[in-house]
């Protein structure tokens, strides 16, 4: 069931012994929002821990906070999770039908939680968490501000994507005023490239395929490429972003091989193409300009099917 902002705020204020879930393959927004919320709830005297099916990747380790002694959770919240399947297998099995409150910014949210507060126009889940914490009169400490800023900045490609609104800029300004280490987080998230990453980027670009007079790009990242260059799955965001940055491209598609041999497809589009509708054809979802889906089995066959669908979205 969908609920409004005020109800969501009241649920958070009443919550005790809280478990906060992120999506699998976590990014800065789901982790930043979850840990910021945990710190805020603890500040209010509740107990709160964060659970991520894949743990916290090294790239985002600075967002984690030490867990509290184990307790039996009374209330379960998900942050930035559009569907129970995105919690990851192990977490979905335990908690897929036990989420009390979903806080999310995906228009494709499947309303799997008992109650859902969804703002599809919010550039990040962290923007929503920020507004909820302000309404709850939480004192937004430097530690909370750092985590919210990490989500606000990473989900907008450092304020570069078309999801940015005036509200996004104003929230960033306030988080900076409250002590967020904007400069340090930017260096870490956007301004540090490992030599191996540059190698991976070159390999991926050399294998780039262009279709429909250069209006569709297809990038492929295999496990072998990741292994050879020593790159991790959570480091490829800017390569996925690159798929859309090639001049003339309207639909940028990235096929990334997962450790189990299946394929994660990430789609980035410009304003004339709805990426979430395209991915929904294959059981996926996301945002208008950034969405994803999964494929099992042979990549050539999957790419053929996906490209055929993508072509129908041009014009």
Where on the chain is the footprint of a copy of itself (CB under 8 A)? 157-162, 164-167, 169-170, 172-174, 176-177, 182-183, 186-187, 190-195, 198, 202, 205, 241-242, 244-247, 270-271
- The least distance separating a copy of itself from the CB of residue 127, rounded to whole angstroms, comes to 13
Residue number, 49 or 156, with CB nearest to a copy of itself? 156
Residue number, 74 or 202, with CB nearest to a copy of itself? 202
- The least distance separating a copy of itself from the CB of residue 297, rounded to whole angstroms, comes to 31
- The least distance separating a copy of itself from the CB of residue 190, rounded to whole angstroms, comes to 5
Beta strand 263-269 with 285-286 is unpaired
- The least distance separating a copy of itself from the CB of residue 146, rounded to whole angstroms, comes to 15
Residue number, 12 or 242, with CB nearest to a copy of itself? 242
Do residues 283 and 293 touch, judged by C-beta distance below 8 A? yes
Contacts of 176 (CB under 8 A, 6+ apart): 145, 149, 182
> From CA 151, how far away is CA 131, in angstroms rounded?
14
Residue number, 61 or 160, with CB nearest to a copy of itself? 160
Q: How many CB atoms lie within 10 A of CB 187?
A: 11
188-224 b/e (C-beta count within 10 Å ≥ 16 → b) = ebeeeeeeebeebbebbeeeeeebbeebbbbbbbbee
- The least distance separating a copy of itself from the CB of residue 102, rounded to whole angstroms, comes to 28
Phi first, then psi: what are they for 220, rounded to 5°? Answer: -125, 130
Residue number, 114 or 167, with CB nearest to a copy of itself? 167
End-to-end CA distance of the chain: 36
Residue number, 241 or 307, with CB nearest to a copy of itself? 241
> From CA 30, how far away is CA 153, in angstroms rounded?
12
Q: Which of 252, 255, 272, 275 is nearest to 264 (CA)?
A: 255
Three-state SS at 80? coil
Residue number, 136 or 208, with CB nearest to a copy of itself? 208
By CB atoms closer than 10 A (0-12, 13-18, 19+), residue 272 is exposed
> From CA 216, how far away is CA 306, in angstroms rounded?
11
Residue number, 116 or 243, with CB nearest to a copy of itself? 243
Q: Could you tell me the strand order of the sheet in which 48-51 lies? A: 48-51, 18-21, 75-79, 101-104, 115-118
- The least distance separating a copy of itself from the CB of residue 290, rounded to whole angstroms, comes to 12
- The least distance separating a copy of itself from the CB of residue 181, rounded to whole angstroms, comes to 10
- The least distance separating a copy of itself from the CB of residue 153, rounded to whole angstroms, comes to 8
């Amino acid at each position: 069931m969908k609920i409004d902002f005020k109800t969501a705020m009241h649920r958070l204020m009443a919550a005790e012994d809280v478990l906060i879930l992120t999506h699998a393959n976590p990014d800065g927004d789901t982790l930043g929002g979850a840990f910021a919320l945990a710190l805020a709830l603890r500040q209010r005297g509740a107990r709160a821990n964060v659970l991520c099916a894949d743990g916290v990747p090294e790239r985002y380790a600075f967002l984690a906070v030490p867990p509290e002694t184990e307790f039996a959770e009374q209330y379960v919240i998900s942050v930035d999770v559009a569907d129970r399947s995105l919690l990851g297998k192990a977490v979905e099995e335990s908690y897929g039908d036990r989420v009390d409150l979903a806080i999310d910014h995906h228009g494709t949210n499947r309303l799997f939680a008992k109650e859902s507060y969804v703002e599809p126009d919010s550039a990040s889940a962290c923007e929503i968490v920020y507004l909820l914490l302000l309404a709850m009169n939480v004192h937004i400490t430097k530690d909370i501000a750092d985590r919210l800023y990490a989500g606000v900045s990473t989900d907008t490609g450092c304020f570069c994507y078309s999801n940015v609104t005036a509200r996004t800029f104003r929230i960033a300004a306030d988080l900076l005023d409250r002590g967020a280490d904007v400069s340090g987080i930017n260096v870490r998230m956007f301004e540090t490239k490992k030599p191996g990453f540059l190698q991976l980027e070159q390999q991926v670009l050399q294998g780039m395929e262009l279709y429909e007079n250069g209006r569709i790009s297809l990038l492929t990242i295999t496990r072998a490429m990741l292994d050879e260059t020593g790159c991790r799955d959570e480091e490829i965001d800017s390569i996925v972003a690159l798929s859309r940055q090639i001049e003339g491209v309207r639909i940028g598609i990235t096929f990334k091989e997962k450790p189990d041999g299946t394929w994660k497809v990430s789609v980035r589009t410009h304003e004339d193409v709805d990426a979430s509708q395209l991915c929904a054809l294959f059981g996926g979802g996301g945002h208008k300009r950034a969405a994803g889906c999964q494929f099992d089995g042979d990549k050539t066959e999957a790419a053929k099917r996906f490209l055929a669908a993508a072509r129908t979205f041009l014009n």
